[in-house]
Each structure stands twice: as structure tokens, then as C-alpha cells.
Amino acid sequence: MSDFKPAILSRYFVTAIGTDSGKTLVSAIVCEALHADYWKPIQAGMPRDTDTVQSLVSNEKTQFHPEAYLLNTPASPHAAAKADGVEISLTKV
């Protein structure tokens, strides 16, 4: 693979409604193609999406940043935070 270097710093936000809609796979494809870093601010439940993306990315430039919130309950972030007794602060994410 070539030493691809983007001309400008860009940020991408992968989103979709529902579980198993392909967000994790698309994130891995974007990270691999652009040598982009990966960060999921809030992880609710296991397995961690960061681990999955990391297992799919083969370039050595992508960095994987820890979640700001790692919640136990597998639910939407607001529902998981409530169930886990955690208050999410937007200044932390």
C-alpha cells in the first residue's frame, strides 16, 4: 500500500440508526483507506467496537483512542448511562 497522506485534516462521523447496521465495518474501512485514527467516545456493552475495528485495520498509522465512557449495559448511550448510574458530560467527549 502506498504512503497515502491526506492534503488536509478531516474528521468523519460514522452514524446509523440501529444495531448491526454496519457502523463498525464502515469505520474500519475508512480508517484503513485513509490511515485515519479511530475513536468511539461512548461504548455501551461488549464487545468493544474499538477492538473489532483494530482487528480489521492492517495499516500501521491508524491509532486507536480509548473511549471517554465505557458502559456495561448494552443499550443506547443515554439509556446505558442511566442504567449504569453514569452522567455523561459533553465536555468529556
pLDDT digits (tens, 9 = 90+) for 51-76: 999 999 999 999 999 999 999 999 99
**Within a domain: 5:** no
Identify the weakest region by mean pLDDT among 5-9, 36-40, 63-67, 84-88.
5-9
- Report how many domains make up the chain: 1
Asked whether residue 17 is domain-assigned, the answer is no
**List 40, 61, 82, 92, catalytic entry:** 40
Residue 79 lies in a domain: yes
DSSP states of 23-40:
HHHHHHHHHHHHT--EE-
Any domain includes 12: no
The three cell numbers locating residue 37: 485514527
- 72: in domain: yes
Q: Does the annotation count 23 as an active-site position?
A: no
Q: Is residue 70 part of a domain?
A: yes
| Residue numbers of the domain that contains 28 | 23-84
Q: For residue 61, is it within any domain?
A: yes
69: nearest Cα among 41, 37, 49, 31 = 41
Q: Nearest CA to 41 among 10, 69, 83, 12?
A: 69
Residues shown for the chain: 93
pTM of the model: 0.83
Residue type, 26: V
Distance between CA atoms of 4 and 46, rounded to whole angstroms? 33
Give the tens place of pLDDT for each residue, 26-59.
999 999 999 999 999 999 999 999 999 999 999 9
